[in-house]
Structure 1
Amino acid sequence: MSATVSFEVACAQGEQTVTLSYTRKGTGAPLVLLHGIGHHRQVWDPVIPALAAERDVIAVDLPGCGESLALPEGMAHDLPTMNTVLAALFEALDLERPHVAGNSLGGLLALDLARARLVRSVTALSPGGFWNAAERRYAFAVLMTMRQIAQRMPRPVVERLARPAIGRTLMTSTVYARPGRRSPEAVVAETLALANAQGFFETLRSGRTVQFSDDIVGMPVTVAWGNRDRLLIPRQGVRAKGVIPGARLVRLPGCGHVPMNDDPALVARVLLDGSR
């Protein structure tokens, strides 16, 4: 079952109220999960049962995604703002320096939280920010195309396409290496989430100048990359290791950009090991 939490965030316009949706399950050390751009928290569903056996798992819908409200007017969709919002979320949920894991944009946000010393450990799955200019332009163009297609498809068409495995492959093979494993219901839900994500373009626009270049010392950092990632190509993981020499770099064989559905057991093990 989902829950919502509202909290105040300081910004240039003064105190603003942000409302986010999340699910919480399990016992143990808190582990916050952050999804990628245009996605929603349900992308973590394949790994949550294994994680919840050992962790207090909090899967969050980022602002304007899933069931979370968009950021108030005037708040930027950039790293500093999201850092402030997530820090305020931790305080609202009484999470003192939780472990955090993220995928894609969520991985970049997780690393930024680690850079600010707001978390206990970080596990980043195919995080943004380690691209060169050409790779960033390619990834952003693919994301914009996916968004436009999702917005133009009527829901009945999405539902029909999602029924057969070949349809799910056509719709999601950019982010999943094994798209046939994703259920029709999940593919419909995430296609609608992509179509309806508020702040999508603003987030991409702010990412044009993002390059993660700071080492993170004094805390466990894991960077994991699927060897079949077609959006942020795997050599970016090598760059991440160069930027953060103390990080553990893990390869995810047979996994794409969003690996949680491609190999839930492997990804859950990486997340648990990264948050020990």
Structure 2
Amino acid sequence: MAAEVSFRLESPQGPRTVSVRYERAGAGEPLLLLHGIGHHWQAWQPVLDILATEREVIAVDLPGFGASPALPDGLAYDLSTVVPVLAALCEALDIERPHVAGNSLGGLLALELGREKLVRSVTALSPAGFWTESERRYAFGTLRAMRAGARSLSLPMIERLSRSSAGRAALTGTIYARPGRRSPEAVVAEALALRGATGFHQTLAVGRDVLFTDDVPGLPVTIAWGSRDRLLLPRQGVRAKRAVPGARLVRLPGCGHVPMNDDPALVARVILDGSR
């Protein structure tokens, strides 16, 4: 069930109203799903039905991405703002300490929610924040190129490319190891989400100085990395394990940066195991 909720957020600039779009399905303990930069909640569609058999799933469009409006003027897209936004979202939805799973930017947010003890468990899929400076510059440059490519193509051209496996690989091969498995409709929607993301540049700007170096004690934490991740290289998982020594580090064979599409059954199992 797709819906939108608005709520008040206390900030140094005074109270602001924030609106967030989300999809809610299933029953059981709540599970919050957070996508990566330039994406939208539909990144989780390949695993949503599986997860919903055991969890009440809330898949979020982060502020400034997907169908969620941009943050109000004066609010930064940094952890100190977006984490309280997610906490306020859970309060507005009457969800107390959900499990959380996040991918890329969403994985970093999931870990920060865990560090703040706002969730019951954390599963982070290829989380941001464990890069070297050269790896960060490479990832950010790649993301900017993807966005520029999406914005340079007309909608008819995107639709034409999406109809063939080669075209889907050209559009999404950076984030998927098996882009041919993504439906043409999903690929078109992703391209439009990427080029329309109002929070894209602001998020990259504040991400330049982000490194996740703190532990997340007292919570079950799973960190999973696709063996074919071409955006945030798999060796970053070793650094993540050093930073969060109690975490379970899982390899996702044959998966890319957004692994939910590449192996839905494996990713769903990792998330459910991590939230038990």
Please indicate the TM-score interval, normalised by the length of the shorter structure.
Answer: over 0.9
For residue 24 of structure 1, give the secondary structure of its aligned residue in structure 2. strand
Give the corresponding residue for 2:200. Answer: 200
Give the corresponding residue for 2:212. Answer: 212
1:252 pairs with 2:252 = yes
Aligned residues with identical type, % of pairs:
68
TM-score (norm 1): 0.99
| Per-residue deviation, 1:196 | 0.1
Q: CA RMSD in A?
A: 0.5
For residue 4 of structure 1, give the secondary structure of its aligned residue in structure 2. strand
| Per-residue deviation, 1:12 | 1.9
Give the corresponding residue for 2:49. Answer: 49
Between the aligned partners of 1:20 and 1:202, the Cα distance in structure 2 is 17
For residue 209 of structure 1, give the secondary structure of its aligned residue in structure 2. coil
Give the corresponding residue for 2:90. Answer: 90
For residue 198 of structure 1, give the secondary structure of its aligned residue in structure 2. coil
Between the aligned partners of 1:144 and 1:79, the Cα distance in structure 2 is 21
| Per-residue deviation, 1:120 | 0.5
Between the aligned partners of 2:147 and 2:79, the Cα distance in structure 1 is 21
1:75 pairs with 2:75 = yes
Runs of 4+ in 1 over 6 A off after TM superposition: none
Between the aligned partners of 2:210 and 2:64, the Cα distance in structure 1 is 20
**Paired residue total:** 276
TM-score (norm 2): 0.99
| Per-residue deviation, 1:161 | 0.5
Between the aligned partners of 2:119 and 2:49, the Cα distance in structure 1 is 23
Deviation per CA, 1:134-191, whole angstroms, max 9, x where unpaired?
Answer: 0000000000000111111111110001001110011111000000000000000000
Between the aligned partners of 1:184 and 1:143, the Cα distance in structure 2 is 21
For residue 74 of structure 1, give the secondary structure of its aligned residue in structure 2. coil
| Per-residue deviation, 1:246 | 0.3
1:187 pairs with 2:156 = no
Letter in 2 for 1:106: G
Between the aligned partners of 2:80 and 2:156, the Cα distance in structure 1 is 39
Between the aligned partners of 1:175 and 1:185, the Cα distance in structure 2 is 17
Give the corresponding residue for 1:37. Answer: 37
| Per-residue deviation, 1:64 | 1.2
| Per-residue deviation, 1:9 | 0.4
Give the corresponding residue for 1:120. Answer: 120
After TM superposition, the structure 1 = structure 2 runs for residues 55-70 of structure 1, keeping only pairs within 5 Å, are 55-70=55-70
Any gaps of 5 or more consecutive residues in structure 1? none
Between the aligned partners of 1:35 and 1:4, the Cα distance in structure 2 is 17
1:5 pairs with 2:2 = no
Between the aligned partners of 2:160 and 2:9, the Cα distance in structure 1 is 42
Between the aligned partners of 2:137 and 2:247, the Cα distance in structure 1 is 26
Letter in 2 for 1:203: T
Between the aligned partners of 2:246 and 2:199, the Cα distance in structure 1 is 34
For residue 159 of structure 2, give the secondary structure of its aligned residue in structure 1. helix
Deviation per CA, 1:42-87, whole angstroms, max 9, x where unpaired?
Answer: 0100001110000000000000111111100110010110011011
Give the corresponding residue for 2:138. Answer: 138
| Per-residue deviation, 1:247 | 0.1
Give the corresponding residue for 2:164. Answer: 164
Between the aligned partners of 1:215 and 1:66, the Cα distance in structure 2 is 31
For residue 265 of structure 2, give the secondary structure of its aligned residue in structure 1. helix
Between the aligned partners of 2:53 and 2:199, the Cα distance in structure 1 is 34
For residue 46 of structure 1, give the secondary structure of its aligned residue in structure 2. helix
